[in-house]
Structure 1
């Protein structure tokens, strides 16, 4: 039932976009806030009119959930927290640890959103891993780098946590950072920041990054952005507006938070190469962001980072979380890393 609720929300959003895009020659003539169905308040905050379904955690082993789950406070002053997932029957052997960052253009969704809760619950079950999903601060109330700061803070939190699901079951020597869409951007940036402080987060030892349709951009339009400018699933006006609401004030789209290829890429990529981290980037041709994702793979290849690009024909943005058969491709890759 929860998945059907999400599909209904997507169908409503698609219909909303269809009505707005009809009879419009250029996306620039549309009100971006109407497209996003939000109100931009005078104080810089936004009122989010869409209420996406959320799911509570459950530690009841008798319920037919893929995994057990519970919520723990990360930083009460920032109202950040984490949802932890544990397979129903964890073995005595410690399990890989996946830190997950949800998507939503930096401005929408939550670790409790049914869409991401279901994915993380299945991820823990299918890959037999402990999954920690972060509830980070959203823009524009907290513009970047707030989410990046939270993404690294949770690594320090894991290091010192006394929670038995982590201390008894998680193998801190096998940690992977994973994110979808904006969460993929966050996972990448968290990886860069973590690579610069590896001694500070020990015994947390990152082995790789799994970036699912990561959200990147730039000043110059790519061919896929132009081709899919009015795609109902993710029109260009939506991504433009998300960047305008999330980037620091006064910077353009070629700022490093948005465009990872600027100035030839971050210098810390050399450390990622030396550490031998494995990086996987998922994408598909039906996503306007696909050219950005291919550019990232090309950048990493040029730095001799151990990277693989898994690109598929057709599809859409969000398909690797929203479609079970495509989610399985992510799970299969994770299982291959163990």
Structure 2
């Protein structure tokens, strides 16, 4: 029965406690530093790791940066002249938690590099509520401009700028699609960087009216509805609700900027699963893109839970072959 709970799936009454954050009187939050382990980069080609990575500061004053991932073999094999497609990746965490160094995202990016033979630029954007939306979107655009102009050798020497995809998981997928909409207005200004499409992995989206999957999975332990609501309350601009365009991509028929995406010929992939409370919204989002003649593919699996692939890397990332 929808909304039914059991001893193994109890009602969540304190979303702050569930995700281990503490609200502060000044509107900030205190995060548990041990909740999300971090991984250090491995930039030395002498390191036997199959994937090399290094961190580059983007904006010193805003404390934003990126982590670049490359196959080690690409760097050590001087005879190779084939350049790699680029995935610009945005991590999840409900816009309030995690970073590009979080082990779960570091490992996922490393797996993509090996399985898809790509380069990855993983973006560390500012978090809410200290920096509410659209701060993360602004940081995404700044990174794309940086990629366009940087002389960073890992990108200039090994990356094919004409084959770039924007990708994100959960809140990162939300950031990827908003960045994509912004880019679609000025795609020519990013040359030589050429976006080919968007890969939206379990996109974090919402709305005021409850959907069937939200009601059915109200106490789903990985992302209970009250936690979802709290994250949006902390991330959205003050004074707006979940039907704001940052949260609800289908409100008022969806953004008119999707016309640009169609004209540019970008491909859009949206993935999800029926264990995710947001699946109904994700499917509605896909349906909306179909009506706008966007080249979109929805891949929705049975079972699982929100961003299951991040926690169970045995789930193949082959679905993200572009």
**Shorter-chain TM band:** over 0.9
Per the alignment, residue 78 of structure 1 pairs with: 62
Please state if 1:274 is matched with 2:274. no
CA deviations on 1:249-276 (whole Å, 9 max, x unpaired) are 0001100000000111111101100111
Per the alignment, residue 42 of structure 2 pairs with: 58
- Distance in 2 of aligned mates of 1:49 and 1:324: 24
- The DSSP-based 3-state class of the residue aligned with 1:324 is coil
- Report if the CA contact (8 A) 2:198-2:269 is conserved: yes
Aligned length: 311
Unaligned runs of 5+ in 1: 1-17
- Report if the CA contact (8 A) 1:38-1:49 is conserved: yes
- Report if the CA contact (8 A) 2:9-2:220 is conserved: no
- Report if the CA contact (8 A) 1:45-1:141 is conserved: yes
Please state if 1:169 is matched with 2:158. yes
Please state if 1:99 is matched with 2:88. yes
Per the alignment, residue 233 of structure 2 pairs with: 244
- Report if the CA contact (8 A) 2:71-2:119 is conserved: yes
State which of 9, 14, 19 in structure 2 corresponds to 1:31.
14
Which moved further from structure 2: 320-329 or 306-315?
Answer: 320-329
CA deviations on 1:101-153 (whole Å, 9 max, x unpaired) are 00000001110001000110111121111100000000000000000000111
Unaligned runs of 5+ in 2: 1-5, 75-79
- The DSSP-based 3-state class of the residue aligned with 2:25 is coil
List 4+ stretches of structure 1 deviating above 6 A: 18-21
- Distance in 2 of aligned mates of 1:50 and 1:19: 29
Change (3 A) 1:20 1:142: farther
The structure richer in helix per residue is 1
- Residue 325 of structure 1: CA displacement? 3.2
CA deviations on 1:160-207 (whole Å, 9 max, x unpaired) are 111111101111111000000000100111100110111221111100
- The DSSP-based 3-state class of the residue aligned with 1:295 is helix
Per the alignment, residue 147 of structure 1 pairs with: 136
TM-score after normalising by structure 1? 0.89
RMSD: 1.6
Please state if 1:285 is matched with 2:274. yes
Per the alignment, residue 3 of structure 2 pairs with: none
- Report if the CA contact (8 A) 2:116-2:318 is conserved: no
Please state if 1:188 is matched with 2:171. no
